[in-house]
A and B are shown apart, each in its own frame.
Chain A
């Protein structure tokens, strides 16, 4: 059974740039959720996709967007990067919502 995989592992960007993070869900899972985790904090929910439709969104601005593909993989796009966007971005997949299993994350640094 293949687990959740995320790419890239690390990324360095500058303010104002755009970034795309990718996630392949665990085999058999149809739901993908994205989280932002700042140092010393718990994961903060960004949004969730269920069968290619957005199924919930947290308190993040519209410059955070995403999509889910027919194979249930997903992308997180962030436009106009800000210094505060520096964090660990986590993708979690599940079958019909829970429980959620996390990938290894993408560490994004904004200079």
Chain B
């Protein structure tokens, strides 16, 4: 069974710090990796996707992928209180049906 593991947290960081969120996955055939942000009571919002090893930057967000270690992470620079949310990691394989498996999410709290 494909598994995606995340520390449920909460991860608490001060405003302006770097928040580091981690995710491991079990299926070595995984090809696509996504980070979603979910505010309390709301639906998940796609913030980053990454498909190859290395880093991918988008504004204050950086996704890092290491397929050999089956590890994907999300860094949030200059964290703001508005970044406080649950961050979901999703992993999918290719082959005709892209069905992502989600982790249970990490709760991030950015305090002023």
Q: Mark B8-47, 1 if CB is under 8 A from A, else 0.
A: 1000000000000000000000001010100000111110
Contacting pair A42 B102 (CB below 8 A): yes
Contacting pair B101 A45 (CB below 8 A): yes
- A61 interface residue per 8 A CB criterion: no
- Chain B residue nearest to A101 in the complex (CB): B46
B91 CB to closest chain A CB (Å) equals: 11
- Contact sample, A vs B, 27 pairs, CB 8 Å cutoff: A33-B99, A40-B8, A41-B104, A42-B4, A42-B103, A42-B105, A43-B88, A48-B97, A50-B97, A55-B96, A55-B97, A56-B97, A58-B99, A88-B43, A90-B43, A96-B98, A97-B97, A98-B32, A99-B46, A99-B49, A100-B46, A102-B43, A102-B46, A103-B43, A104-B42, A105-B42, A105-B43
Write the residues of chain A forming the contact surface with B, with a CB cutoff of 8 angstroms.
Answer: 33, 35, 40-45, 48, 50, 55-56, 58, 88, 90, 94, 96-105
- Which among B4, B43, B45, B88 has the greatest number of chain A C-beta atoms within 10 A? B43
Residues of A within 8 A of B36 (CB): 102
A93 CB to closest chain B CB (Å) equals: 12
Contacting pair A97 B102 (CB below 8 A): no
- B79 interface residue per 8 A CB criterion: no
Residues of A within 8 A of B42 (CB): 104-105
- Chain B residue nearest to A48 in the complex (CB): B99
Distance between Cα atoms of A41 and B96 in the complex (Å): 27
Residues of B within 8 A of A98 (CB): 32, 34, 49, 92, 98, 100
Residues of B within 8 A of A55 (CB): 96-97
Residues of B within 8 A of A88 (CB): 43
- Chain A residue nearest to B6 in the complex (CB): A42
Residues of B within 8 A of A33 (CB): 99
